[in-house]
Amino acid sequence: MKKQSIHSGHRRRVREKFIASDFEHFNDHEILELMLFYTIPMRDTNPIAHELLNHFGSISAVFDASYEELRQFGLPEKSAVLMNSIPVICHNYMKDRNFNLRKRYDENQLKTRLIAYSLKKQKPVHIYAFFDAMETELFFGTLPYTEGERIVENLCNLAMKYNAATMILCTSTTSGIAYPTPEDMGLFSMISDSLNGIHIHIKEWYIVSGTRIENLSDHSDFKHMFTE
């Protein structure tokens, strides 16, 4: 039997802490410690994280240090590459996040993505897309299946996390009819009421069936639901 590391329980707890709250309740040394988990197996990375901060002075200085400086400090090659890559990763993330025009809302492109995503799933799903005030996409995807009230809670948390201004909902169906069910309507009503309460407008609701997609805001039965 493979012997389990004495640090495996601690590592799991640190990962669970991150999953529960991102880095909100982390000290700088804990952030470095978590990162080092993935490049230094079977070793306590907490002392190394403290030593890095003491040596370089701050977490940003650790990330700004050159590969050679990190190696001279004593970090393994993989750890030095990871730390040295953070500024470049952050730069590319922010550039893509703020200036990638492909992430700006385009109805035709979004419809194509929704159809492709629905066909890939091959089962009824709800797809959510959040946008900021400049109509830049913040999130696109599904949420784990759960009860209606929990879905609404998860959506509100997601919207606030990304500071969203608008949301688009897409419901895929295998019924062959691009029309919402009474259950879909009930869920939409719950989502709409909750998001309106935190000043987030539902821009559109699409129904996808196969390769057919319908905008419910264009449908006479549903137009009233999209008035800001």
CA distances from 205 to 42, 55, 104, 169, 180 (A): 49, 54, 18, 5, 10
Catalogue the E-assigned strands of 10-125: none
Instruction: Report the DSSP pairing between strands 166-173 and 201-209.
Output: parallel
Chain segment 71-87, per-residue pLDDT in tens: 999 999 999 999 999 99
Q: May I ask the CATH architecture of the domain 104-226?
A: 3-Layer(aba) Sandwich (3.40)
Structure tokens at 154: 């998860």
Nearest-Å Rg of the Cα atoms of the chain is 23
Chain segment 109-130, per-residue pLDDT in tens: 889 888 888 888 777 788 899 9
Q: Which of 143, 135, 133 is nearest to 103 (CA)?
A: 135
Structure tokens at 56: 């370089």
What are the residue ranges spanned by the domains of the chain?
Answer: 8-99, 104-226
Mean pLDDT of 54-77: 95
Chain segment 160-185, per-residue pLDDT in tens: 988 999 999 998 887 777 778 888 88
Quick check: pTM over 0.75? no
Cα separation of 152 and 164, whole Å?
15
